[in-house]
Chain A
């Protein structure tokens, strides 16, 4: 198929933050936040037109600062949160805020795509997640499949649960928890579990992974030394409620059953440098995407620990839905875990990978190149 080759999109600035627009289920859309200390930062809204194999982009100004983390509301596709660096009085603080995209961006971009980059519209600030008491924000997480009213932010060693009120214009802390103890307690990553009625959260600090019950705001499990070094990212298996994938600076990707935390279920060691991002495919949990600072993105097929262990990877429904992007493999895939593909197109460290929310066969990966942001759409044939 002609779209075997990745589709590449470049940004002017360095970038680390990437998310799929969670609430958007029709268009294949990703949001990228840039990092620049000298210029106004931007949020690039990138649409992939899978019929023409083309990319449409829109740029929104994010003048609050360089973006370290970005995530879209699951309920309202125009609402998103960012974590951004604010420098004031020789102090660098990472803050978080909820934004709304201006309603015109879509129409405007279609009419005059050239103008949009020249005169980017500005995001509308809905509210700050006030963190003066808690320190730098590592990330903001929306309640999965929620109504867009609840977010969690991880600030230093605090877990903060926010209620967004009055159309998200007001944020109040409804509950919080603090990690105390010895060692490096700063949270590096977190993930809100989509299971158990969204009452569980997993966080990473240093080499440990912790689970939290959001009702009591108390720790429910702790995997000490989950990785040899810093844990960079984690993700929940969308179909198996106790399964969790994590990655870190020991170049490994580990799979955990949180009921048996002494040993990982599985361990992959394919990357040759730190693994920064790990993502389960939303529909087919055997497909796993990892991005690493060895500039590689690896798509793995973890059949042995998936919820579809017998190789029913390609449903007929999915096939008909995505026939254009499919390069389906009619032969039943072997049951062994395997690497489906290694993408080596990036020239710099890949800090983020993300599956599309709309099309289970598409993903994007973002590298730091500074100038190059590659959106790599790839038909992933199981």
Chain B
């Protein structure tokens, strides 16, 4: 109403103000906003309801200057005027509206009078109509009842007709194979027929229907059994049969057995493939076995190499693919449709009470379990056939696919044990794989050792040839490959190990579904890869190295000494760096979390060191033995009593020195120099001989006088009492000097023992003197403590002197001349 009062042409702000003021005036301020109310509490607000003119005036007077007051006053007057004019306008407008309203009301009064008359007329008419209508309905009453009755009869007749026609209809449906119509028709009639079965006619119909339906069911079952039809048809069949009150259990069984037959076909296909590949495998190996005669080169490279996967038959990925695509997807299909049919279908009526889903679920589980078990056994057989370790990615991908597809089953069948069994298979395969890799690594190690052996054997022949004819200068050409062999062997092994690790690492790659299983996160890494593969391999290296010391026989003939040296260095390298490197690498790659106790690096290092020590000791023993044998033969085969006066150093001594030199070179290639005891400043050759001659003079001087046999012995025994015991076959240190010392000790001790078993003539003793002096000249430089050589050689000469029938030693100067001459 208030809006109606505002002039439509006034500008919005003005209108608003007027509007609010009017509202105020009419006490409509309850619509007003709280802010306006808060404002209006101010007594100085000229628009507020609590406006106090006195206060306002006082305020103005206090606050404003005269000019401002004047302005304010004029402004106030202006506002008042505008308000007055607004008011006036409103009054006029309202007045006009009142006038027009009065007019309208007057007009309406006149119109209503006319309408009242018309209404009266209408009501009279209506009464007349009512009367007529009553009369008509009275006359039509009888006929209506009859029609109703007739229509009821008609419906009944139609129903009856349906019933009577039912058998024929069903037959027709049967003919047309419109099973679903037939079933729905029968279902509609079934209750009625049941109800009125006491009446013979109905009974007839019912029997007929029964027969037909029986037939129909038969056909459905047949169709169901035939299995040629699509899944949709099948499910329709099942639905219909269920509606026909077929026992659900039987249906489940049938459905499953039907599914089974198909899946079994798949399985048989897989099995056939498995057999095929097995046959081709054996054929392949037969071919390989027979081929060496015709082609001697290729089979040795392909047949013995475990890193080449067998090419015969389909590869495992294809196999698994086939298994997945045929068997697993079919299985999923069967499961899905089965579930749809028997488990997830909406329960209705009597079917609900039979608790079908539970029964059906149980059956399904049993079904899936048996089939999966067969599938798994096939897959496992196939995996076991996967012996070649060349391309692991294929296997991993196959396993991944296998595992991934089984997840579908787990989604379909939440409680099933199948996926976990699948995981177990994967785990087993992984374990098996690790074992295979280990054995492959071992074979590889053996093969590379054989290679090294051959590489060593080739130059060794030339060593033998050259050193006999030419001497030590050319033998250098034969051995420089030793460090190269070592590095290449070491690199070969390391690379192979790395590539195996990389292959195994595929099992734990992120995009592989099974890699996040607890086994692959924990045990696989720690127990499997670290312990089962890396640690075992290192242990194997150590162990096989040790075997070289034991099985090689004491004559040292089967294992070339250089190989022993090489292996010893290899083991030592392993101890110092390689083992920790490999293990760190493994730990990094596999993020091994040590849940279970693992072999510590130190234990492995200790083992490697032990092996290295053993090998080096054995090397010393073997080399010492070779030289010993030369010395022994030379002492044993000579007639020392009747020998001629020495003119030369015996050739065998030169040979000993030569061999020692070449051993020195050989060891020097792989081992550091090592520490010697400080040489006396005069240990150069010249002064050395003087020194030794003076010593020998002292030692032999008394033995000329036969009356004092004790003195020499006394001297040497006192010497022995105060010198350290010399362990002949004692462990050596990892350096060249220690190795050479060991070899020389063994050789000289043999020399000593052999000399003690012989009897010497005068020139025999002198020959020994010459020989020993020659050895002294050349051997001291190889050993850590030259006194050791002195001591042993003194012992030899001393023993020879004792065993001499006519001990008259040679002049030291003559000895020196002979030795220097050659």
Which residue numbers of A lie inside 8 Å of B, CB to CB?
12-14, 36-39, 85, 87, 90-92, 225, 227-229, 250-251, 272-274, 293-295, 344, 347-349, 368-372
Q: How distant is the Cα of A36 from the Cα of B801 in the complex, in angstroms?
A: 11
B717 touches A272 (CB 8 A): no
> Which stretch of B25-33, B52-60, B560-568, B727-735 is in the interface?
B727-735
A272 touches B641 (CB 8 A): no
Sample of 9 more A-B contacts, CB < 8 Å, known A36-B709, A37-B805: A37-B759, A37-B803, A87-B759, A87-B805, A272-B730, A273-B729, A293-B749, A293-B753, A348-B720
Given contacts A12-B709, A90-B642, A348-B720, A228 and B725 within 8 Å (CB-CB):
no
Write 19 A-B pairs (CB below 8 A) sorted by A numbering. A12-B709, A12-B710, A13-B709, A14-B802, A36-B709, A37-B802, A37-B803, A87-B641, A90-B642, A228-B553, A272-B727, A273-B729, A274-B753, A294-B729, A295-B725, A349-B753, A370-B713, A370-B802, A371-B713
Q: How distant is the Cα of A39 from the Cα of B703 in the complex, in angstroms?
A: 13
Expressed in whole angstroms, the minimum distance between the Cβ of A96 and any Cβ of chain B is 17
A251 touches B729 (CB 8 A): yes
Q: How distant is the Cα of A229 from the Cα of B753 in the complex, in angstroms?
A: 14
The 7 closest A-B pairs by CB, nearest first: A228-B554, A370-B713, A273-B728, A371-B713, A347-B720, A272-B729, A92-B759
Given contacts A228-B554, A251-B729, A272-B727, A90 and B761 within 8 Å (CB-CB):
yes
A227 touches B554 (CB 8 A): yes
B725's partner among A90, A344, A368 (CB-CB below 8 A) is A344
Q: How distant is the Cα of A12 from the Cα of B753 in the complex, in angstroms?
A: 20
B728 touches A272 (CB 8 A): yes
B554 touches A229 (CB 8 A): yes
Expressed in whole angstroms, the minimum distance between the Cβ of A224 and any Cβ of chain B is 12
Nearest residue in B to A276 (C-beta to C-beta)?
A: B753
Q: Is B297 close to A, CB under 8 A?
A: no
Q: How distant is the Cα of A90 from the Cα of B763 in the complex, in angstroms?
A: 12
The interface residues of chain A lying within 8 Å CB-to-CB of B753 are: 274, 293, 349
Q: Mark B724-751, 1 if CB is under 8 A from A, else 0.
A: 0101111000000000000000000100
A38 touches B803 (CB 8 A): no
Q: Is B401 close to A, CB under 8 A?
A: no
**Chain A binding surface, main DSSP class:** loop
Q: How distant is the Cα of A13 from the Cα of B713 in the complex, in angstroms?
A: 9
Number of contacts between A and B (CB, 8 Å)?
69
Expressed in whole angstroms, the minimum distance between the Cβ of A249 and any Cβ of chain B is 8
A39 touches B749 (CB 8 A): no
Expressed in whole angstroms, the minimum distance between the Cβ of B387 and any Cβ of chain A is 34
The interface residues of chain A lying within 8 Å CB-to-CB of B554 are: 227-229, 250
Q: Is B756 close to A, CB under 8 A?
A: yes
Q: How distant is the Cα of A272 from the Cα of B756 in the complex, in angstroms?
A: 19
Q: How distant is the Cα of A372 from the Cα of B803 in the complex, in angstroms?
A: 17
The interface residues of chain A lying within 8 Å CB-to-CB of B641 are: 87, 90-92
B720 touches A38 (CB 8 A): no
Q: Is B670 close to A, CB under 8 A?
A: no
Q: How distant is the Cα of A294 from the Cα of B803 in the complex, in angstroms?
A: 21
Q: Is B415 close to A, CB under 8 A?
A: no
A85 touches B759 (CB 8 A): yes
Q: Is B721 close to A, CB under 8 A?
A: yes
Q: Is B686 close to A, CB under 8 A?
A: no
Q: How distant is the Cα of A235 from the Cα of B70 in the complex, in angstroms?
A: 151
B728 touches A294 (CB 8 A): yes
The interface residues of chain B lying within 8 Å CB-to-CB of A273 are: 728-729, 749
Q: Is B706 close to A, CB under 8 A?
A: yes
Q: Is B555 close to A, CB under 8 A?
A: yes
B717's partner among A36, A87, A90, A347 (CB-CB below 8 A) is A347
Expressed in whole angstroms, the minimum distance between the Cβ of A298 and any Cβ of chain B is 14
**Which chain B residues (286-320) contact chain A, with CB distance < 8 Å?**
none
Expressed in whole angstroms, the minimum distance between the Cβ of B631 and any Cβ of chain A is 13
Expressed in whole angstroms, the minimum distance between the Cβ of A147 and any Cβ of chain B is 34
Q: How distant is the Cα of A309 from the Cα of B565 in the complex, in angstroms?
A: 42
Q: Mark B782-811, 1 if CB is under 8 A from A, else 0.
A: 000000000000000000001111000000
Expressed in whole angstroms, the minimum distance between the Cβ of A322 and any Cβ of chain B is 32
Expressed in whole angstroms, the minimum distance between the Cβ of B806 and any Cβ of chain A is 9
Q: How distant is the Cα of A293 from the Cα of B757 in the complex, in angstroms?
A: 13
Q: How distant is the Cα of A95 from the Cα of B653 in the complex, in angstroms?
A: 33
Q: Is B38 close to A, CB under 8 A?
A: no
Q: How distant is the Cα of A228 from the Cα of B716 in the complex, in angstroms?
A: 32
A38 touches B555 (CB 8 A): no
Nearest residue in B to A251 (C-beta to C-beta)?
A: B729
Given contacts A39-B709, A87-B641, A293-B753, A372 and B728 within 8 Å (CB-CB):
no
B555's partner among A37, A91, A228, A251 (CB-CB below 8 A) is A228
The interface residues of chain B lying within 8 Å CB-to-CB of A368 are: 756
A347's partner among B706, B721, B727, B804 (CB-CB below 8 A) is B721
The interface residues of chain A lying within 8 Å CB-to-CB of B553 are: 225, 228
Q: How distant is the Cα of A378 from the Cα of B770 in the complex, in angstroms?
A: 43
Q: How distant is the Cα of A297 from the Cα of B405 in the complex, in angstroms?
A: 74
The interface residues of chain A lying within 8 Å CB-to-CB of B720 are: 347-348, 369
A371's partner among B706, B714, B727, B728 (CB-CB below 8 A) is B714
The interface residues of chain A lying within 8 Å CB-to-CB of B729 are: 251, 272-273, 294
Nearest residue in B to A371 (C-beta to C-beta)?
A: B713
A37 touches B709 (CB 8 A): no
Nearest residue in A to B706 (C-beta to C-beta)?
A: A38
Q: Mark B229-240, 1 if CB is under 8 A from A, else 0.
A: 000000000000
